[in-house]
Amino acid sequence: MIVMLSTLFWIAITALATVVVALIAVYQSYLFRVSIGVDILLKMEQRFESKEVIDVRKGAVKALRKYPVKALAMEDRKNLERILSFFETLGLLVHQGSINKELAWNSFFHHFYGYCVSRGSSYIAAQRKKYGTRYTEIFWLANEFDKLEKRVGGADIDLTEWDSFLDEEESMK
């Protein structure tokens, strides 16, 4: 009887240890995923603030100042498309769970909103009308960022507050 209880005791201990190891493995996997997401986000921030992308952003500003009143020159359109592509990629990475939504919001809300919602929305809408699936991740991310903004107590977005956005972007060095 004692041998049987002793055997059951060790089986229970082994089972418990197995569960603990499995939980630690799941937690380590979660930490690894968060770490990778933060690394991706920091690299995106670094890229967005690089001299090359700042020059592209200035070109995108030119495009946004002209659109829809004037037809866009090829270079202006290309610059705007590159910036929107950057945010489309950000949206995809957030949507797929590679980057935490709140971290992305904290890092990119101002620029995302300036380029994609307040100033670029008419261009994006025209592109989505012409090509149905274009900028779907920007559209998704805008909705998610709006939810976050409201959850943290932000007021409804007033588009007039974005009047100076293009000036700020254009004056970057």
Tell me: the pLDDT tens digits for 91-102? 999 999 999 999
> Does 11 map to a domain?
no
> Does 29 map to a domain?
no
Q: Which of 27-36, 66-75, 88-97, 102-111 has the lowest mean pLDDT?
A: 66-75
Q: Compute and round to an integer the Cα radius of gyration of the chain.
A: 24
- pLDDT score of 155 more than 70: no
**Can you give the pLDDT at residue 160?**
67
> Does 10 map to a domain?
no
Q: How many domains does the chain have?
A: 1
Query: In whole angstroms, what is the distance from residue 140 CA to residue 122 CA?
Result: 16
Q: What percent of the chain has pLDDT over 70?
A: 92
Average pLDDT over residues 122-135: 92
| Residues 148 and 105 sit within 8 Å (Cβ to Cβ) | yes
> Does 80 map to a domain?
yes
DSSP class of residue 100?
-
What is the span of the domain harbouring residue 62? Answer: 37-170
- pLDDT score of 36 more than 90: yes
> Does 21 map to a domain?
no
**Can you give the pLDDT at residue 156?**
65
Question: Is cis: bond before 68, omega within 30 of 0?
Answer: yes
Query: In whole angstroms, what is the distance from residue 84 CA to residue 95 CA?
Result: 16
> Does 146 map to a domain?
yes
> Does 8 map to a domain?
no
> Does 7 map to a domain?
no
